[in-house]
Amino acid sequence: MIKLNLNRKKKAWLIAGVSFVMVLGCAGVVWTDHGAIEEEQSRIGKLKSEILSADATIAKIKTVEDRVLSERVRVKEYTKILPLDKDINNFVDRITEFEAAAKVEISTLDDKSARNRNKKKSKDAFIRIGYKMNVTATIGQLLEFMHLFESYDRFVTVKEFNIKGANPVELADGTLIPARHGVGLTLETYVYKPTNAMKQPVKIVNADERMLGISESLGLAKGLELDAYAYEERPNRRDPFSNPRHLIEEQTGSGEGAEIAEQEEVLDELVTEFNAIREQLKSETKEEDLVVKYELSRRLDARLGELRDRVTALDIDKFFSSPEARQRYRREVGDPLSELLKERLGADLELMPLDEVKSQYTRMQDSFDKEQFTDTIALGQTLMKSRVEGMPDELNEAFEEVLALIERAQIRIDFDQIEMVFNGLVVPGGDESKSIVIINGRAYSPGDEYAEGLTVKEVRSSGIRFLYRGERITRTLD
Amino acid sequence: MMKINLLPSEYRKAERTPFIILLPILAGLICVLSAGAVAGYVKFSWRAEVEAERVQLQGQMRQKQPRLNYNASLLKEEAEYKKQAETISKIASSRILMTKKLDELCNLIAEGDAGQHGGYMVWVEQLKTKPAKRKRGRKKKGPQPAGELSFSGYVLANNAPLQDFNRFHRAIKDSEMYREQFMGINDPKGSVTEFTDDKVPTKGWSFALSADMTDPAEIMKTRAKKRLEAKKEARRKRK
B227 with B220: CB under 8 angstroms? no
Strands A463-468 and A454-460: antiparallel
Q: Find residue A444's DSSP bridge partners.
A: A437
What φ, ψ does residue B82 adopt, rounded to 5°?
-60, -45
Q: Kindly indicate the confidence band of residue A436, based on its pLDDT and cuts at 50, 70 and 90.
A: confident
- d(CA B201, CA B47) in angstroms, rounded, equals 105
Q: What is the predicted pLDDT for the residue at B11? A: 82
Q: What is the predicted pLDDT for the residue at B136? A: 62
Q: What is the predicted pLDDT for the residue at A253? A: 44
Q: What is the ipTM of this complex?
A: 0.79
Cβ pair A159:B115 closer than 8 A: no
The predicted-structure confidence for A338-383, as pLDDT tens digits, reads as follows 778 777 765 444 567 777 788 888 888 888 888 888 888 888 877 7
Nearest to A247 among B28, B42, B199 (CB): B199
Q: Find residue B184's DSSP bridge partners.
A: B212
- d(CA A439, CA A422) in angstroms, rounded, equals 5
Spell out the alpha helix ranges (H) of A156-287: 196-199, 207-218, 260-286
A320–B contact, CB cutoff 8 A: yes
Cβ pair B89:A330 closer than 8 A: no
SS3 B115: coil
Give the least confident one: A66-80, A431-445, B31-45, B85-99.
A431-445
A263 with A257: CB under 8 angstroms? yes
A25 contacts on B by Cβ (under 8 Å): 35
Residue of B107, B147, B18 lying closest to A143 (CA atoms): B107
B98 contacts on A by Cβ (under 8 Å): 146, 150, 158, 161
A30 with B39: CB under 8 angstroms? yes
The predicted-structure confidence for A6-47, as pLDDT tens digits, reads as follows 787 888 888 889 999 999 999 999 999 999 999 999 999 999
B216 contacts on A by Cβ (under 8 Å): 227
- d(CA A360, CA A383) in angstroms, rounded, equals 8
Nearest to B85 among A12, A71, A378 (CB): A71
For residue B201, is the peptide bond before it cis, meaning its omega torsion is within 30 degrees of 0?
yes
Nearest CA in chain A to B46: A37
Q: Is the pLDDT of residue A255 over 50?
A: no
Q: Higher pLDDT residue, A387 or A32?
A: A32
> Could you tell me how many CB contacts below 8 A there are between chain A and chain B?
302
Q: Is the pLDDT of residue A283 over 90?
A: no
DSSP string, A137-189: E-HHHHHHHHHHHHTSSS--EEEEEEEE----EE-TTSPEEPP-EEEEEEEEE
Q: Is the pLDDT of residue A312 over 60?
A: yes
B164 with B153: CB under 8 angstroms? no
The shortest C-alpha distance from A76 to chain B (Å) reads 9
SS3 B204: strand
Instruction: Tell how many helices (H) and how many strands (E) occur in chain B.
Output: 6, 6
* Amino acid identity, position A457: K
Q: Kindly indicate the confidence band of residue B36, based on its pLDDT and cuts at 50, 70 and 90.
A: very high
- d(CA B147, CA B144) in angstroms, rounded, equals 9
A178–B contact, CB cutoff 8 A: no
Instruction: Give me the torsion for CA of A463, A468, A472, A474, rounded to 10°.
Output: -20
B81 contacts on A by Cβ (under 8 Å): 68, 71-72, 74-75, 198
